[in-house]
Structure 1
Amino acid sequence: MTLTPQWLDELRSRITLSTLIGRTVKITRAGREYKACCPFHNEKTPSFTINDEKGFYHCFGCGAHGDAIRWMTDQRGLSFMDAVKELAGEAGMDVPAPDPRAAKKAEAQASLRDVTQAAAEWFVQQLDSANGAPARDYLAKRGISEATRRAFGFGLAPGSRTALKEALKKFPTAMLVEAGMLISVDDKEPYDRFRGRLMIPIRDARGRVIAFGGRILGDGEPKYLNSPDTPLFDKGRTLFNIDKASPASRQTNRIIVVEGYMDVIALAEAGIADAVAPLGTALTENQLGMLWRMVPVPVLCFDGDAAGQKAAMRAATRALPLLRPGFSLAFATLPAGQDPDDLVRAKGAEGFAAILEEAQPLVERLWAHEVAAAPLTTPEERAALKTRLLAHADAIQDPDVRHHYREAFRERLDALFARARPERGPRVPWAPSGHQRGGGRRFLPDPRLQPPGAETRSIGEAGIAAPYIAALIGGLLRYPEALARHEEELSRLTIGNPADAELLAAMLDNAIAQEGLDCEGLLAILEPMKVYNRATTLLRADGMHFSFTRRLEDGEGADAARETALRDLDEYIGVLVTQPEIRARLAEATADYMRTMDDEGHARQQKLRAMDEDLTRRLAALTENSQR
């Protein structure tokens, strides 16, 4: 795909910015411009201006500034490419297809969206009909207003096995099956998946219907039924209400995660719009990533019963390996036997807000869970508690965050058990050859062993050396396909230069959503952003002389050179991600060994030293490969 600057300029010129913003913000004419109270921060006097001639908005209060595409990404929460596609649809422009296969896939998905949209409209008609009276009565008893029902697109699936199939007969049966609307079993005639259920559309971040949830009306199992995974719908990558909650979270600076979509709807009825829910599964890594793109610390608010608390702990343990500086979770616990619907009915939005105010940080939730998990009366039980807590800390991949969790747990253990430390006499740092201390054999220090220096201690904090990061980003700019393959590893890197960190984040956000994106296409996407100049600088630089930072020349051998560059880039990423963690562990092991001088500590320290040296050799080999 090639989104040239000229194409993007044409797109912006076809969009009337005041009309776009005026759909969600009350604007007033002020000469040749428009004014409004800024949607990005709370204010009473308008300081937000829109200039259609120049095609940008600006807030003199908080500094928010951008064009139509920036509005869609910052206010609507869309990715760059989703924003471009939506605006292009309004402007009557065709977005260049990335390649024939991707274009065919996009066309198939668009056709399936026609199916789900038609189904949603038909379900609404059924709910509005005379046959929908019992379902409407049920909603009224649940306290769901007409406005909320319309906003969420509630519908009704009749009890018939063929009603939807007949209503959507303009679509091929195979397409209805692929969209999850019909069930096909062996040689039997396909039949309606949803029958006798209150239907709730599930939408993507752009507000398009991609699937459904159905609640049984009357007796029957399962109580809730979701669409199966389809080319449009992956339940592990979708959050219910993401289309409404994402822009709402920009006003509240929070996002709330509840257990189910009826909880989300009950909160919306109470005026709380920034809530989402997973779809019948525990929170996945992808869903956590979606939440962290909205706010640094989402609040998980699960039921106070045993099942709800188990769900909270599953989310906590799933999040641990993904934690990084500044990004975590908080946990708000509802009273036992109550869900969000019960609480807001009894105490309103204020009562729910009070529960959120008492939310626990992740470290506190883990501590409270493990302390309550078993008795703590014997030394063995106390040791087991320590083992469980440190196992949680060791699951964290970021070395700096892991270190602080270990320290936090140790401090809490000391306070809980009120352990008194006896006074120690002066400690001899090194034992002479053949001497023993404490009754056991001790290793003499390795001649190379020195107290951990400032450079080693600060690896997790300062990040990777700038030349290595420059080479990494330069390689990724040349070979954007590596971004999708290494999304998780790259997101774990600690980058000291904020400009480089921002550039890599922008590359990850935009390239992963685009299949078949090449260097030129990635640069076109980055061009409107402030990171563009840094990207072009790194693309020209080749200070480290790796195979993946060199410009490939067309001709014989180009394909083989490209394969080598991609292979070297994959290995380089592995080294950059692994070595800082190994060095942080080595610093910790060295400090522990210097304190204890025991066999086990020495072995651990030597093993980590060997791993670090091996990684250094691999890094050097990559440079040598590029010079052959």
Structure 2
Amino acid sequence: MALSPQWLDELRSRVTLSSVIMRTTKLQRAGREWKACCPFHDEKTPSFTVSDEKGFYHCFGCGAHGDVIRWMTDQRGLPFMDAVKELAAEAGMEVPAPDPRAAQRAEKRASLVDVTEAAQQWFVQQLASDAGARAREYLASRGFPAAILREFGFGYAPDNKQALKAGLANFDEAMLVESGMRIETEEREHYDRFRDRVMLPIQDMRGRVIAFGGRILGKREGVAKYLNSPDTPLFDKGRTLYNIHRAGPASRKTDRMVVVEGYMDVIALAAAGIEDAVAPLGTALTETQIGLLWRMVDAPVLCFDGDAAGQRAAMRAVTRALPLLRPGKTLRIVQLPSGLDPDDLIREKGRGAMEQLLDRPASMLDTLWQYELAAEPLGSPEAKAGLKARLLEHVDAIEDQDIRALYRRELLDKFSAYAFPRREKFGGKQPWKKGAPQPAPGLTPDAARRLKQASGAASKTGLASAVVHGLARHPDQIDRHADVLSRFAEQDQSLAPAIDFLLDAAETLEHGGDSPILLPDGLVAPPDETRFAFLREGTDPKAARDALAEAVSLLVERPALDAALLAATARFETDPEGAFAEQQRLLKRKLDFERRLGQMVGERAASAARSDSDGRSAQAASSGPKTD
């Protein structure tokens, strides 16, 4: 019976690893993981860890490592299929019926591994032979220690089109072609793919050789410097990361995964003692590879050369990752000094310089901002508007709505600070002082009438009316929330005139100024100004602005949550399971929303209650019986 990798991954995801292991081994909570004395060898100090998030156990003492299926086979002693069936029953999954074609494919992959493993041994032998003298000289010039050469399995492919065929004569020609070792032609004899190259094995998560990479010796016109195996039944370059089988265990000690551009960079880092590095194989980082990295660590560090090509590669990775972002999962970016790759940097400045860069990576958001800021000259309003449009286009690619909202706010804050820098002077106008009368900028009778009508409608919603008045009192915050408010106004026509007026009025103020927009007499006030900190006299300005920002967030979030709940409910007929799960998630968010709103308006009430209680206690104390 052949089980697909996708089915096995689903099985692993449905079973909690720690719950299976703790049936026979006593586990203790250690942060986000579990620890225990290793059940595979005798020890007094716990070195055995279990990570439900990453889906594996590992012993730093004896090296035992595996997933929930491996636990059942190694610790329980069950045959593979018995282990799978027991776990599937626990997870409520049905084991697929036998598929003869899938069995044949699995058998073929197993036989192709025999080819690649044999080829690896042959390449290593060729490196040690007389034919490999030039390759050994090249490796010596790179300064790689002998231990590194052995660990990474360096070999050599002779400059002969039929050498490998002769060396692997016990394998059929068809298997050599299908494994990617030979190239098939119709008109002439098949020939070896790799010739006169230093060879490196590419291994899967289990350490099996599934493909090769080769670096040409010397320079040849029209010949690629690096050459990788083609995609085969064993090897998919978009789903494989070079050195993942070594870097995975190393990352559990460092809680870090470094992604560099090529396998020679990985080896240079390993030679310097940095063992938690991987590399893609001739392609930009794919969605599958990003997901694989996130199974190891929450924030992999991407390390790129400091030249223009490296910056473009960083942005390709950022844009590829934006739609995939979810809470707690991100990428961090390191840009090397211009003209240096990791090997150059370590040679010139030592391992410490590399570690310093890796310890101070940039966030995805900052990388995106810096790249777009430098993308084009920004000497005109049109160019600045183009910058804003590009930033928002990136934001719109983010699928998680919470992360999307946070990216939008932070990038717009950066844009506002850049496009509308705070001025030290007021261009001839005196800054407003509390108590000094000042007319609302540009307040015509018609505008006053419109604002009064709009705010009257807004007051019916309580929170919406409070936000309108809060922005009028703190107009320096209007631009910060302009995009969010404009989109909200499109959904709520009763607030649209008030928001439009505030946006227009704010443009007549010095940017960043704190002069309030004085509203005309007779304007409908919020139901109770004491409920909101940003409307109360004497509130600390920073606290008022923070409270106003939270109120704007709540104002926009409420209709979005209601709409999402309606959509989830409408999906019940076609997707009851998915709709129920989505509805439960949204209900939790709505409860959190109500809690946040309650905290905002309840703080003042609680304070007032405490004051009343204190007053009553004092009064009782002063009027109570006295004793000598």
Question: In structure 2, how many angstroms separate the alpha carbons of the residues matched to 1:608 and 1:224?
Answer: 52
Q: 1:379 is matched with which residue?
A: 381
Q: Which amino acid aligns with 2:199?
A: M
Residues 452 and 590 in structure 1, CA contact (< 8 A), matched pair in contact too = no
1:70 paired to 2:57:
yes
CA drift of 1:445 comes to 7.3
Higher mean C-alpha deviation, range 181-190 or range 347-356:
181-190
Say if 2:353 is the partner of 1:322: no
- Secondary structure, in 3 states, of the residue corresponding to 1:396? coil
Q: State how far apart, in whole Å, the 2-side matches of 1:588 and 1:234 are.
A: 49
**Partner of 1:400 in structure 2?**
402
Alpha-carbon shift at residue 175 of structure 1 (Å): 1.1
Any conservation in 2 of the 1:586–1:608 contact (CA below 8 Å)? no
Q: Are 1:106 and 2:106 counterparts?
A: yes
Equivalent residue letter for 1:594: L
Give the AA of the match of 1:414: S
> Which residue of 1 is the match for residue 201 of structure 2?
201
CA displacement at 1:436 relative to structure 2: 5.3
Asked if 2 retains the 8 angstrom alpha-carbon contact of 1:77 and 1:246, the reply is no
Cα displacement string for residues 146-179 of structure 1 (whole angstroms, at most 9, x for unaligned residues)? 1101000011000111111121121111111111
Q: Output the amino acid matched with 1:71.
A: H
The match for 1:139 is 139
1:76/1:331 CA distance change after superposition, 3 Å: farther
Q: 1:229 to 1:445 in 2, by over 3 A?
A: farther
Task: Report the alpha carbon displacement of residue 187 of structure 1 after superposing the two structures with TM.
Answer: 4.1
| Alpha-carbon distance change, 139 to 62 in structure 1, aligned in 2, over 3 angstroms | closer
**AA of the residue aligned to 1:242:** I
1:375 is paired with a residue whose SS is: coil
User: In the alignment, which residue of structure 1 is the partner of 2:116?
Assistant: 116
Q: What's the TM-score, normalizing by structure 2?
A: 0.61
- Separation in 2 of the partners of 1:106 and 1:279? 24
Query: Structure 1: which 5+ runs fail to align?
Result: 18-37, 42-46, 454-583
TM-score (structure 1 length as normaliser): 0.61
2:125 corresponds to: 125
How far the C-alpha of 1:100 sits from its partner, in A, is 3.3
Q: Aligned partners of 1:149 and 1:355: how far apart in 2?
A: 26
Aligned 1:432-581 pairs, distance under 5 A: none
Amino acid corresponding to residue 179 of structure 2 in structure 1: A
- 1:50 pairs with one of 17, 22, 38: 38
Q: Is the 8 A contact 1:300 1:331 kept in 2?
A: yes
CA distance in 2, matches of 1:226, 1:324: 33
What CA distance in whole angstroms lies between the structure 1 residues aligned with 2:159 and 2:197? 8
Say which structure, 1 or 2, has more relative contact order (CA 8 Å, 6+ apart): 1
Instruction: State the one-letter code of the partner of 2:38.
Output: I
| 1:385 Cα deviation after fit | 1.1
Taking the aligned partners of 1:327 and 1:280, their CA distance within structure 2 comes to 25
The C-alpha deviation readout for 1:341-390, integer Å capped at 9, x for no partner, is 10111122111111212311111111111111122222111111111111
Query: Match of 1:173, as an amino acid?
Result: E
Question: Deviation per CA, 1:262-307, whole angstroms, max 9, x where unpaired?
Answer: 0000111111100000000000000001111111111111111111
* Pair 1:65–1:392, CA change in 2 (3 A): closer
Deviations 1:435-457 (A, max 9, x none): 8569xx9999799989689xxxx
Question: Which residue among 226, 237, 240 is the counterpart of 1:238?
Answer: 240
Unpaired runs of 5+ in structure 2? Answer: 12-16, 85-95, 433-437, 466-484, 504-557, 580-628
Q: In angstroms, what is the RMSD of aligned CA positions?
A: 4.7
Question: Which of the pair has more CA radius of gyration?
Answer: 2
Provide Cα deviations, 1:388-444, integer angstroms capped at 9, x if missing partner. 1111111111111111111111211222232579999889xxx99xx8569xx9999
Looking at structure 1, the residues matched to 167 and 111 of structure 2 have their Cα atoms a distance apart, in angstroms, of 17
**What does residue 183 of structure 1 align with?**
183
2:405 is aligned with what amino acid? Answer: H
Counterpart residue number, 1:616: 569
* Corresponding position of 1:339: 341
Report the AA paired with residue 99 of structure 2: P
Q: Is the 8 A contact 2:36 2:48 kept in 1?
A: no
Which residue identity does 2:175 align to in structure 1? M
For 2:183 and 2:497, locate their aligned partners in 1 and report how far apart those are by CA, in whole Å.
Answer: 65
TM-superposed CA distance for 1:133, in Å, is 1.4
Cα separation, 2, equivalents of 1:445 and 1:236: 56
Give the residue type in structure 2 aligned to 1:70: Y
Counterpart-to-counterpart distance in 2, 1:246 and 1:275: 9
Return the alpha-carbon distance in structure 2 between the equivalents of residues 189 and 450 of structure 1: 82
Of the candidates 412, 415, 428, which is equivalent to residue 413 of structure 1? 415
Report if the CA contact (8 A) 1:124-1:156 is conserved.
yes
How far has the Cα of 1:261 moved from its partner? 0.2
Residue equivalent to 2:515: none
> How many corresponding residue pairs?
448
Question: Residues 259 and 300 of structure 2 are in contact (CA less than 8 Å); yes or no, is this contact kept in structure 1?
Answer: yes
Identity, % of aligned pairs? Answer: 47
- Residues 623/78 of structure 1: CA separation in 2 closer, same or farther (3 Å cut): closer
Structure 2 counterpart SS, 1:250:
helix
Matched residues in 1 for 2:488 and 2:105: separation? 50
The answer to whether the Cα contact below 8 Å between 1:76 and 1:247 also exists between their aligned partners in 2 is: no
CA distance in 2, matches of 1:59, 1:307: 49
Distance in 1, matches of 2:331 and 2:162, equals 45
Equivalent-residue separation in structure 2 for 1:143 and 1:379 (angstroms) = 53
